[in-house]
Amino acid sequence: MAGNGASADGYFALQSSREQRGLHVAVIMDGNGRWAARRGLPRVAGHRAGVAAVRRVVERAPELGIETLTVYAFSSDNWRRPAFEVRSILSLIGGYLRLERSTLREAGVRVEAIGRRDRLPRILLREIAQCEAATAGGGGLHLRVAVDYSSREAMARAAARAFAGVGPWASDAEQFPSPDAARRAMAEVLREEGGDVDLLIRTGGEKRLSDFLLWESAYAELVFTDVMWPEFGAAELDAAVEEFLGRERRFGGVVERIENAASPQRAQSSQRERGWVYPVEAPTHLIEPTQVEGGLAGGTADLGGGR
């Protein structure tokens, strides 16, 4: 399927009122240790093999219309692992940033590390800073590397930033933000850091989010694969994006059907061939129940939660 399954053209939905944007794909790179164990190798060998998988995915991603790629390299909970494994993983992250820096810059990739930095080794902090500086002008893929990352902690930091000056967000009744104002403020801060996730992929056969981009993945399509991360490459990324393109994203609403609107452009993607249109971003406003005339009496409301 590699090379001819999904395409950049296949992602963009038909939206006259919205600016087209590329996909934000997040990846939980799981299965390195099990991949190594099955081959009688130390766990660190699996992490080394996983670095090659990162290279393959970063190279393929722009060809699929992926604008932002966020990879889960080291979670805040990973500090619980044996000290040797922790040092090895952090060393591999630093080595990747150092060795790939020139290649990434030439490819127009902009690298950004997300997560805590106060607990990282100084040598890794130096590699992060140098790679971010060297690739800052990249106008292509935005590669976000999550290191010492916890989504719960990220949301707490976002809340602290959003409400540092509580006054503008406060409701009339009290000096704390109303729920709607709080949601808007949080969304604004987190959007600055990377925006909503469209597709979240987890390799290795597990089916959980593991404290990764929880807010940003509220309406993400989830793809779980049994393929271990060291074996993940262009073909597997193509398959995940193709599955994404075959799904209908409703964001809790109703998808509008376009009749008699066939065109050569629409035929370029599976979404267009079906004639479906959906928003490329989650809705930023909600309709209040009081705005629905007549309530549910005599109506034909669809009570399904939707995707």
Sheet holding 199-202: strands in order across? 110-114, 142-149, 66-75, 23-28, 199-202, 221-224
CB-based contact 177:185 (threshold 8 Å): yes
pLDDT tens-digit series, residues 86-108: 999 999 999 999 999 999 999 99
32 is annotated as an active-site residue: no
Catalytic-role residue among 9, 77, 78, 226: 78
The answer to whether residues 60 and 140 touch, using CB atoms and an 8 Å cutoff, is no
Choosing from 30, 148, 196, 238, the catalytic residue is 30
How do the domains of the chain map onto residue ranges?
A: 8-150+195-276
pLDDT digits (tens, 9 = 90+) for 245-301: 998 887 767 666 544 333 333 333 444 333 333 344 444 444 444 444 444 444 433
The correct CATH number of 8-150+195-276 out of 3.20.20.450, 3.40.50.150, 3.40.630.150, 3.40.1180.10 is 3.40.1180.10
Q: Low-confidence residues of the chain, pLDDT below 70?
A: 1-20, 164-177, 191-193, 252, 254-307
pLDDT given for residue 179 in this prediction: 73
Q: Is 78 a catalytic residue?
A: yes
Q: pTM of whole model > 0.85?
A: no
